[in-house]
Chain A
């Protein structure tokens, strides 16, 4: 089992390397973008997508914790998902801001997608602040999970609200109404490969972080019993 995990980890490493190389050498430049700046797309979009996946993962884990037996594993997974979501979200925000600066001269303009990633970050921060403010493990898990589910319930309403900001600088959505993708095939390949790679990376890191947290708790408990 361990060698299977190691093999998969190596495969993931290779995949990500292929994505990076593909972003710079395989995919063509996009029309209408300044210089090489469209390369940012292949990192920014997957990371933003992964931050979104993290949000859902945290919400699902929280639901499983609350209504599926209060298993501490789900609580650890939710907390880890939020921490990782924060990392990916911050990276996505920074890469997006850099790109915005290159393309349109402004780091920030509150267009719907920039705004939505910031809101996700605010939720993550609030969740982690809540966890930090509770000392007892059982109570912390319970209350954090409840807040995560509340967040999950509220976020669809951002979809109603954000498009009100009609002036969007984000490139036209690449999927039009007939679900035909309007993008150079090679760009699309790298983009999808990147999204898959980053998502796999997220779940791998999630697994590692959860197991690390579990080991730490066992170690603490052993220390307590000894002393």
Chain B
């Protein structure tokens, strides 16, 4: 059983109050869709949930198998897809996934499996990828360690039809809405405009 719950999360940057008391929750097999215009705090919220940013106040509770995880635990356990996430341009796609697989203690085959699923050129330097390919690589990176909680910031950005299809399948498998899913994960999806995705159980609109 995995659950995510956050309440009254606030975050300021200097004089700018970006998050002003935001609350939400997601359970297994559920996706929380966060919408709002640019600058409404979607990315900030996701960074807080990922443990990359400490909120000024409020609570974020995430637990897997009844065990609560603190920010450090969340950092290791989440899968994040975000525009500002970059991988090493000097390394090839395969070398990048290999490095992170080593860091996370994941077997080498997993990276190759994701490369194939997302149709990524293994031997190309990450710096030479198109923006669409770069987004696919972000997805591969995020799913490498089979995370229970996916945090997706503009997940379909720059993807072509094939890429979007592959990614939708992966998300469906993650949430367990696909029939052959083994266990169900959770997701928080942030996007400027609403998305049509199976499994969206709740919506949080940051433009109040």
Contact = CB atoms under 8 A, between A and B. Distances in A.
A/B contact in complex, CB under 8 angstroms = yes
A225 B54 contact: no
Interface in A134-150: 135-138
A146 to B, nearest CB: 15
Nearest to B12: A224
A225 B17 contact: yes
Contact of B17 (A70, A137, A224): A224
Interface in B8-48: 12-15, 17
Contacts of B54: 70, 138
Contacts of A220: 15
A98 B12 CA distance: 48
Interface string A211-227: 00000000011001100
| Chain B residues touching A, range | under 10
A102 to B, nearest CB: 49
A136 B14 contact: yes
A136 B17 CA distance: 12
A225 B20 CA distance: 9
A70 B14 CA distance: 18
Nearest to A221: B12
Nearest to A220: B15
Contacts, number: 15
A220 B12 CA distance: 11
Contacts of A224: 12, 15, 17
Interface string B1-13: 0000000000011
B17 A135 contact: no
A72 to B, nearest CB: 10
B185 to A, nearest CB: 30
Nearest to A224: B17
A136 B13 contact: yes
A137 B10 CA distance: 14
Contacts of A136: 13-14
Contacts of A225: 17
Contacts of A137: 12, 14
B47 to A, nearest CB: 12
A135 B14 CA distance: 7
A108 to B, nearest CB: 41
Contacts of B15: 220, 224
A221 B14 CA distance: 10
Nearest to A142: B54
A126 to B, nearest CB: 23
Interface string A184-219: 000000000000000000000000000000000000
Interface string B33-70: 00000000000000000000010100000000000000
B80 to A, nearest CB: 19
Contacts of B13: 135-136
Contacts of A70: 54
Nearest to B53: A138
A219 to B, nearest CB: 12
Interface of A: 70, 135-138, 220-221, 224-225
Give 8 closest A-B pairs by Cβ, nearest first.
A224-B17, A138-B54, A135-B14, A224-B15, A136-B13, A224-B12, A220-B15, A136-B14
Given A136-B13, A136-B14, 13 more contacts: A70-B54, A135-B13, A135-B14, A137-B12, A137-B14, A138-B54, A138-B56, A220-B15, A221-B12, A224-B12, A224-B15, A224-B17, A225-B17
15 contacts: A70-B54, A135-B13, A135-B14, A136-B13, A136-B14, A137-B12, A137-B14, A138-B54, A138-B56, A220-B15, A221-B12, A224-B12, A224-B15, A224-B17, A225-B17
